[in-house]
Structure 1
Amino acid sequence: MKYAPVYTLLLLFVFYTSCKGQNKTELPKDTIRSEPKEVITSYGPSHITRTIKQDRKGNIWIGTFGGVFRYDGKSFTNVTSKVSSARFFSVLEDRKGNFWFSTVGEGVYYYDGKSFQQFTIKDGLANNQVIDIYEDKTGTIWFGTQSGASRYDGKSFRNYRMNEGLNFTTDERLFLADHNDVNSIIEDKTGKFWFATRGNACIYDGKTFTILTHDGTPFRNVRTIIEDKKGNIWLGGSDGLWRYDGNTFTNFTERGVAYVYEDKKGNIWTSSETNWGWSLFRYDGTTLSNKNPTVTEVDPESDDTKGMLFGILEANDGSIWFGSGGVYRYDGKTITDFKK
């Protein structure tokens, strides 16, 4: 497989963040629901799967369009089956061991293991369509929504729109008004925040936002963004897979990328388009300094995975999990389908 040659350039355009609509609404006390009786099955979800995470106890949590599932190594439990029929997107275990589940249309659910609490726009959330959840170094929870980002400090929300205050042309402004979705949020080692959006990917230093560009072109429709162990930033989206080392951007493939993940050995895993659908690709961590690193393709070879692949996870046992029209586990040789 051939990959595009490396080319680098970073142009930064600084603009201010508009705090219009920021709110400090105190949260209501009546949104708590007791834990319902959970539904336990021997098989996994058969719905679109967007997020897979492993908690500190070793359980695997799976965010799907059919609910949030917990896998204990033997059986699957639909934790949200009696709480909501919404499509779930993202799952986060915070530093206190509590869980946050994002939905498309019903905001966010907070779960302490016993009861659920729902947060929506009525409580100050920017939008009820929530794509990503992230906890920063201070314990503040960030939500990527279809109307920008929301930050929750435990008491109130503060909202940010990514593309206000910019000197764009009319056509560009119309494009960005419809593409303010925040797909992914991270805080890097220096304390700066990176936002992957359907519009322009950008950095926030606490005061201003800076648009990311390559060869003078903004990164648009970035689906995922991570920081690796060495401090490099990886972006995956419509423009392919990119790495930023603090000085330059390097392009590894121009194929569309839906998800980026670093395993314990420093290998970079992506889900990327192929001529016949989507596959997993592993970029060998020991060769990433080369212009043509060693890349291994893992083809799921299933009609159910011809759509985008999301939620890549390396479990404690070293297996690689990923989601599509269900959840799958790759042990290095074979792929296991957990559907009924």
Structure 2
Amino acid sequence: MYNRAVNFTEVSTLKNKPMFVTYLPSDSVKVVTKLAQDNRGNLWVGTANGLFRFANNQFQKVEIPIDGKDGSAYIYALFVDREGGVWGGAARDLFRVAGGNVTVLHETEETFFRAFYQDKDGQIWVGTAKRGLLQIAPDVAGKPQIIRSFVDKEPEVGSWVNAVIKSFDDKLLLATNDG
């Protein structure tokens, strides 16, 4: 029917409704990397240019205090915790958006926060591309803090964690660059 991307703003003007509609935060933001939906129905959109919230048919840029000049605004992971907080991971920054506040854990070296999991006790586990598996908890101000780090003895082997899930027998399973 259409041999191009149809932006959501033009759908109402079309005679024939397209099968797929493209939703982009702006004309300059073309790469959507991750999606998450919170318990209020808001859609959170990770992009190569940072984080956006889509609600009431409008995109709103979420200002996260990260540099972004070196590509560090690229969102590698998004996750909504049980309390409705939105966690995101970039190259050097792990952030949480909750109640209109943004808190950031900034690492001096590239960590590439890539995967999130919340266990039955509410603990947040984060898979990274450089530091293995991290256990994270917000401090009293809500800022994410690293509680523990689990890295393979040979960091180049098992330090890249792509996914974290729980098995039927309550163990964490990791998808890594070594299996």
TM interval, short-chain normalised: 0.7 to 0.9
Gap change, CA 1:300 and 1:186, over 3 Å in 2: same
**Equivalent residue for 1:203?**
53
> Is residue 163 of structure 1 aligned with residue 26 of structure 2?
yes
What secondary structure, in the 3-state scheme, does the structure 2 residue paired with 1:160 have? Answer: coil
1:298 and 2:154 are equivalent in the alignment: no
Change (3 A) 1:292 1:183: closer
Alpha-carbon distance in structure 1 between the residues aligned to 2:178 and 2:148: 23
SS state at 1:214 partner: coil
Residue 157 (structure 1) shift? 2.3
How many Å apart are 1:278 and its aligned residue? 2.9
**1:21–1:159 CA contact under 8 A, matched in 2:** no
Contact 1:19–1:160 under 8 Å retained in 2: yes
Q: Does 1:314 align with 2:139?
A: no
Counterpart residue number, 2:75: 222
What secondary structure, in the 3-state scheme, does the structure 1 residue paired with 2:8 have?
A: coil
Shift of the alpha carbon at 1:300?
Answer: 2.2
Shift of 1:207: 1.3
Name the Cα RMSD after superposition. 3.0
The separation in 2 between residues aligned to 1:319 and 1:216, in whole angstroms, is: 34
Unpaired runs of at least 5, structure 2: 1-5
Separation in 1 of the partners of 2:67 and 2:10?
30
Q: Of 233, 237, 245, which residue of structure 1 is paired with 2:98?
A: 245
Count matched residues: 162
What is the CA–CA distance in structure 2 between the aligned matches of 1:310 and 1:263, rounded to whole Å? 17
How far apart in 2 are the matches of 1:253 and 1:268?
17
Q: Deviations over 1:261-311 (max 9, x none)?
A: 2122111111235xxx43110125xx64365846111112344324x3211
CA distance in 2, matches of 1:233, 1:204: 13
Deviation at 1:258, TM superposition (A): 1.8
Aligned equivalent of 1:7: none
CA distance change for structure 1 residues 163 and 301 in 2, over 3 Å: closer, same or farther? farther
Q: 2:66–2:73: 8 Å Cα contact kept in structure 1?
A: no
Letter in 1 for 2:77: T
Aligned to 2:39: 189
1:1-340 aligned at under 5 Å gives the runs 18-19=7-8, 24-25=17-18, 156-164=19-27, 173=28, 176=29, 180-215=30-65, 220-254=73-107, 255-272=111-128, 277-284=130-137, 288-289=139-140, 293=145, 295-302=147-154, 303-306=156-159, 308-327=160-179
Verify the 8 A CA contact 1:309 1:324 in the aligned structure 2: yes
| Residue 230 of structure 1: how far off its partner (Å) | 1.0
Are the equivalent residues in 2 in contact too, given 1:278–1:305 (CA < 8 A)?
A: no
Work out the CA distance in 2 between the residues paired with 1:316 and 1:289.
32
Cα distance in 1, alignment partners of residues 44 and 144 from structure 2: 27
TM-score scaled by structure 2?
0.74
Greater C-alpha radius of gyration = 1
CA distance 1:288–1:265, change in 2 (3 Å)? farther
CA contact (8 A) 2:36 2:43 kept: yes
SS in structure 2 of the partner of residue 313 of structure 1:
strand
| In 2, Cα distance between equivalents of 1:248 and 1:227 | 15
Instruction: Give CA-to-partner distance per residue, 1:1-52, whole Å, 9 cap, x none.
Output: xxxxxxxxxxxxxxxx943786845xxxxxxxxxxxxxxxxxxxxxxxxxxx
For residue 25 of structure 2, give the secondary structure of its aligned residue in structure 1: coil
Q: Would the alpha carbon gap of residues 21 and 325 (structure 1) be closer, same or farther in structure 2, given more than 3 Å must change?
A: farther
Aligned residue for 2:50, secondary structure, equals: coil
CA-CA distance at 1:216 after TM superposition: 8.6
- Contact 1:202–1:211 (CA under 8 A) maintained in structure 2: yes
* AA of the residue aligned to 2:149: E
Name the CA distance, whole Å, in 1 between partners of 2:144 and 2:20. 45
1:209 CA displacement: 0.4
